[in-house]
Amino acid sequence: MAITHQGAIDQQFEREFAGSCRLYQRARATIAGGITHDSRNLAPFPIYVTRAQGAHKWDVDGHELVDHWMGHGALLLGHNAEPIKAALAAQLELGTHYGACHEAEVEWAELITRLIPSAERVRFTMSGTEATMLALRDARAYTGKSKVIRFAAHFHGWHDYALVGYQPPFEVPASTGIPGEVARTMLIARSNDIDSVRRLLDQHQDVAAVILEPGGGSNGIIPPDPAFLRALRALTAERGVVLIFDEVITGFRYAPGGAQQRYGVIPDLTTLAKIVAGGLPGGAVAGKAAIMDVQVFKGVLEQDRFHRVLQQGTFNANPLSAAAGTAMLRVVAEGQATAQAERLGEQLRAELNAVLKRRGVAGLAYGEASVFQILLGEGIEEAVRRCDVERLMGGRGAVNTLRKALLLEGVDLMRSGGFTSTAHGDAELSRTVSAFDRALARVQAEGLA
């Protein structure tokens, strides 16, 4: 639950970020709700940024912030990384949209098939949302079945199917406007609980696919269990159900080949976005050729009209995204970037926990690879161990005041955590840790921790 308390942190936030407040008031007159992504909602107003470089960004009030949003996880190399900038500059000279096929999209797909173990074929989309939407359609078309098993609280974007089972109470879709007919095709299992999947498969004969975040639901807030992933792979193979790993976050971050490489569990289909497009808009579905062939034109009218998956998208694999994506994946293929960001992630989690301990504040910093979460309150460790999704999701809301305190100390967290990148170094790490220490002191002074 969000903390609505109006204390010294809120008052100072409103004073120091007055330029953001003014822009937010202006935005609300034209942009519905004033924001363009629900995750950026922050009461009483979100911050407005003017520029970014490396691990830093600057807001309209002149604050320099250590950035842990990292483009919602898209920026493994930080802001404005040289290889990406160079690829984009070169592409700008050549045009931004050909309305035609081009070599960069071929190279981009080749890099994906080289890096991601399950990828034999690739189709590009413009976002992770579109990627999971297409993967579900491919799976349904391939199996001729309609139901999909997903896991409570895992995030797969914001299309109608993805928002069923995303937020507690899980039986109510996370958004209004979703038809009951759509919601009824989605079955909700529990993270790391193979029996919950088996029960659903026993009850429903028409299950096309199981989709999950293999690196832990909701950006790792619910930790992954490799033994569960292995059991899920065996069970779905035995029942002829398509296993989809949503690697929009974990792809190229948990290992150069994603969570599937890290845990040695190979799905049938993989959805990608964020890092795959090097910080530009883009996504992809990758997977077994036998399944992805549902998208192939066979040149036979009856087949192509009635037995094929249709996919369009004006900006799919547009030259700018393809240029940034190929530049990004070439760096990933060299192997050091993912590991470097992970080392910093490990160090950051350890140092944040040391601060919590020193201050006697109940809470936990945790995560995998270059992803971290900070949840405050009693019993978080136990909730993580027990996979208590409701408790963990609830804990995320309670960090709102901490976020504002951290902004006052010069650090921007992505809700309850964020990412490390290769642009973060020891200096940024120590700034984040000392800012966290001072922010906790502010939160403690208000009696909120």
Return the number of the residue (153 or 408) whose C-beta is nearest ligand PLP: 153
Binders of ligand PLP among 44-83, rule CB under 6 A?
Answer: 72
Strands 56-59 and 49-53: antiparallel
Using CB under 6 A, which of 109, 115, 194, 273 touches ligand PLP?
273
Return the number of the residue (224 or 283) whose C-beta is nearest ligand PLP: 283
Q: State the nearest-atom distance from the C-beta of 134 to ligand PLP, in Å.
A: 12
The structure tokens listed for 282 are 């883009």
Expressed in angstroms, the distance from the first to the final Cα of the chain is 15
Return the number of the residue (212 or 435) whose C-beta is nearest ligand PLP: 212
CA dihedral 322, 326, 328, 329 (to 10 degrees): 130
Using CB under 6 A, which of 128, 258, 279, 363 touches ligand PLP?
128
What HEC string does 118-164 produce?
Answer: CCCEEEEECCHHHHHHHHHHHHHHHHCCCEEEEECCCCCCCCCCCCC
Q: State the nearest-atom distance from the C-beta of 270 to ligand PLP, in Å.
A: 11
Contacts of 103 (CB under 8 A, 6+ apart): none
Q: At what angle do helices 400-408 and 8-16 cross, to 10 degrees?
A: 50
Using CB under 6 A, which of 20, 118, 132, 236 touches ligand PLP?
132
Give the SS3 label for residue 187.
strand
Pattern 222-261, ligand PLP, x by CB under 6 A:
------------------------x-xx------------
CB-closest chain residue to ligand PLP: 128
Q: State the nearest-atom distance from the C-beta of 73 to ligand PLP, in Å.
A: 7
CA distance 201 to 178: 24
Binders of ligand PLP among 167-206, rule CB under 6 A?
Answer: none
Return the number of the residue (3 or 248) whose C-beta is nearest ligand PLP: 248
Q: State the nearest-atom distance from the C-beta of 205 to ligand PLP, in Å.
A: 28
Return the number of the residue (57 or 156) whose C-beta is nearest ligand PLP: 156
Return the number of the residue (56 or 154) whose C-beta is nearest ligand PLP: 154
Residue 108 in contact with residue 320, Cβ under 8 Å?
Answer: no
Does the footprint of ligand PLP cover residue 125 (CB under 6 A)? no
CA distance 164 to 150: 9
Using CB under 6 A, which of 20, 91, 127, 192 touches ligand PLP?
127
Cα 238–Cα 224–Cα 419 angle in degrees, nearest 5: 135
Does the footprint of ligand PLP cover residue 401 (CB under 6 A)? no
CA distance 40 to 14: 17
Using CB under 6 A, which of 46, 71, 157, 345 touches ligand PLP?
157
Closest residue by Cα to residue 191 from 151, 149, 233, 232: 151
Is the dihedral angle over the CA atoms 241, 246, 252, 255 positive or is it negative? negative
Return the number of the residue (23 or 244) whose C-beta is nearest ligand PLP: 244
Cα 214–Cα 217–Cα 219 angle in degrees, nearest 5: 95
Return the number of the residue (246 or 368) whose C-beta is nearest ligand PLP: 246
Q: State the nearest-atom distance from the C-beta of 217 to ligand PLP, in Å.
A: 9
CA distances from 326 to 85, 335, 352 (A): 12, 15, 34
Return the number of the residue (111 or 248) whose C-beta is nearest ligand PLP: 248
Return the number of the residue (67 or 213) whose C-beta is nearest ligand PLP: 213
Q: State the nearest-atom distance from the C-beta of 238 to ligand PLP, in Å.
A: 26
Sole residue written with tokens 């519905």: 32
Does the footprint of ligand PLP cover residue 262 (CB under 6 A)? no
Residues that bind ligand PLP (CB under 6 A): 72, 127-129, 132, 155-157, 213, 219, 246, 248-249, 273, 283
